[in-house]
Amino acid sequence: MGIAGERIERLTELARAAAREGDDDRAREYVRLARRIAERHRLELPRQLKRFSCTRCDRYLVPGRNARVRTQDGHVVITCECGGQSRYPYEHSSDD
Protein backbone atom coordinates (compact mmCIF):
# COMPACT_ATOMS: atom_id res chain seq x y z
CA MET A 1 0.00 0.00 0.00
CA GLY A 2 2.79 2.42 0.80
CA ILE A 3 2.96 5.51 2.93
CA ALA A 4 0.56 7.51 0.73
CA GLY A 5 -2.08 4.77 0.87
CA GLU A 6 -1.77 4.49 4.64
CA ARG A 7 -2.13 8.24 4.99
CA ILE A 8 -5.26 8.25 2.82
CA GLU A 9 -6.75 5.46 4.99
CA ARG A 10 -5.97 7.45 8.15
CA LEU A 11 -7.45 10.65 6.70
CA THR A 12 -10.60 8.69 5.80
CA GLU A 13 -10.96 7.55 9.42
CA LEU A 14 -10.35 11.08 10.70
CA ALA A 15 -12.90 12.55 8.27
CA ARG A 16 -15.53 10.01 9.39
CA ALA A 17 -14.89 10.76 13.08
CA ALA A 18 -14.93 14.54 12.57
CA ALA A 19 -18.18 14.38 10.55
CA ARG A 20 -19.90 12.26 13.20
CA GLU A 21 -18.84 14.75 15.89
CA GLY A 22 -20.32 17.59 13.82
CA ASP A 23 -17.03 19.25 12.82
CA ASP A 24 -17.85 19.52 9.10
CA ASP A 25 -15.06 21.98 8.25
CA ARG A 26 -12.37 19.70 9.65
CA ALA A 27 -13.90 16.66 7.90
CA ARG A 28 -13.92 18.60 4.61
CA GLU A 29 -10.22 19.44 4.98
CA TYR A 30 -9.41 15.76 5.60
CA VAL A 31 -11.35 14.76 2.47
CA ARG A 32 -9.59 17.41 0.36
CA LEU A 33 -6.17 16.37 1.63
CA ALA A 34 -6.89 12.68 0.95
CA ARG A 35 -8.04 13.50 -2.60
CA ARG A 36 -4.89 15.56 -3.25
CA ILE A 37 -2.62 12.77 -2.02
CA ALA A 38 -4.47 10.21 -4.15
CA GLU A 39 -4.17 12.39 -7.25
CA ARG A 40 -0.50 13.11 -6.67
CA HIS A 41 0.38 9.44 -6.21
CA ARG A 42 -2.12 8.08 -8.76
CA LEU A 43 -3.97 6.03 -6.17
CA GLU A 44 -7.63 5.15 -6.04
CA LEU A 45 -9.61 6.46 -3.09
CA PRO A 46 -10.84 3.86 -0.60
CA ARG A 47 -14.41 2.75 -1.20
CA GLN A 48 -15.55 4.28 2.11
CA LEU A 49 -14.27 7.72 1.13
CA LYS A 50 -15.43 7.46 -2.47
CA ARG A 51 -18.99 6.56 -1.50
CA PHE A 52 -19.37 8.89 1.46
CA SER A 53 -17.84 12.12 0.22
CA CYS A 54 -19.39 14.66 -2.12
CA THR A 55 -17.35 15.26 -5.27
CA ARG A 56 -18.95 18.68 -5.67
CA CYS A 57 -18.22 20.24 -2.24
CA ASP A 58 -15.84 17.67 -0.61
CA ARG A 59 -18.16 17.21 2.37
CA TYR A 60 -18.00 13.87 4.21
CA LEU A 61 -21.55 12.54 4.02
CA VAL A 62 -23.46 11.23 7.02
CA PRO A 63 -26.76 9.69 5.85
CA GLY A 64 -29.72 11.30 7.59
CA ARG A 65 -27.78 14.36 8.70
CA ASN A 66 -26.28 15.98 5.60
CA ALA A 67 -27.11 13.39 2.93
CA ARG A 68 -30.22 11.71 1.60
CA VAL A 69 -30.03 8.08 0.52
CA ARG A 70 -32.62 6.59 -1.82
CA THR A 71 -32.83 3.37 -3.77
CA GLN A 72 -34.13 3.24 -7.31
CA ASP A 73 -34.26 0.47 -9.90
CA GLY A 74 -30.94 -1.24 -9.29
CA HIS A 75 -28.97 1.70 -7.91
CA VAL A 76 -28.52 3.81 -4.79
CA VAL A 77 -28.71 7.60 -5.10
CA ILE A 78 -26.90 9.65 -2.46
CA THR A 79 -27.75 13.38 -2.51
CA CYS A 80 -25.65 15.93 -0.62
CA GLU A 81 -27.04 19.14 0.88
CA CYS A 82 -25.29 21.09 -1.89
CA GLY A 83 -27.32 19.19 -4.51
CA GLY A 84 -24.52 16.92 -5.71
CA GLN A 85 -25.60 13.35 -6.45
CA SER A 86 -23.76 10.04 -6.61
CA ARG A 87 -25.24 6.85 -8.04
CA TYR A 88 -24.00 3.35 -7.26
CA PRO A 89 -25.34 0.04 -8.57
CA TYR A 90 -26.53 -2.69 -6.25
CA GLU A 91 -27.85 -6.20 -6.67
CA HIS A 92 -31.59 -6.33 -6.16
CA SER A 93 -32.72 -9.59 -4.58
CA SER A 94 -36.33 -10.55 -5.08
CA ASP A 95 -38.28 -12.66 -2.65
CA ASP A 96 -40.50 -14.18 -5.36
List Cβ neighbours of 32 (8 Å cut-off, separation of 6 or more): 58
3-class secondary-structure state, position 88 = strand
Burial group, residue 90, by CB count within 10 angstroms (0-12, 13-18, 19+): exposed
Whole-model pTM? 0.86
Is pLDDT of 1 > 80? no
| pLDDT tens per residue, range 50-75 | 999 999 999 999 999 999 999 988 99
Amino acid at 78: I
What is the pLDDT, as a whole number, of residue 75? Answer: 93
| pLDDT tens per residue, range 22-54 | 999 999 999 999 999 999 999 999 999 999 999
Tell me how far apart the alpha carbons of residues 77 and 26 are, in angstroms, rounded to a whole number: 25
Residue ranges covered by each domain of the chain: 2-89
Averaged pLDDT for residues 9-21: 96
Tell me how far apart the alpha carbons of residues 19 and 48 are, in angstroms, rounded to a whole number: 13
Averaged pLDDT for residues 73-91: 92
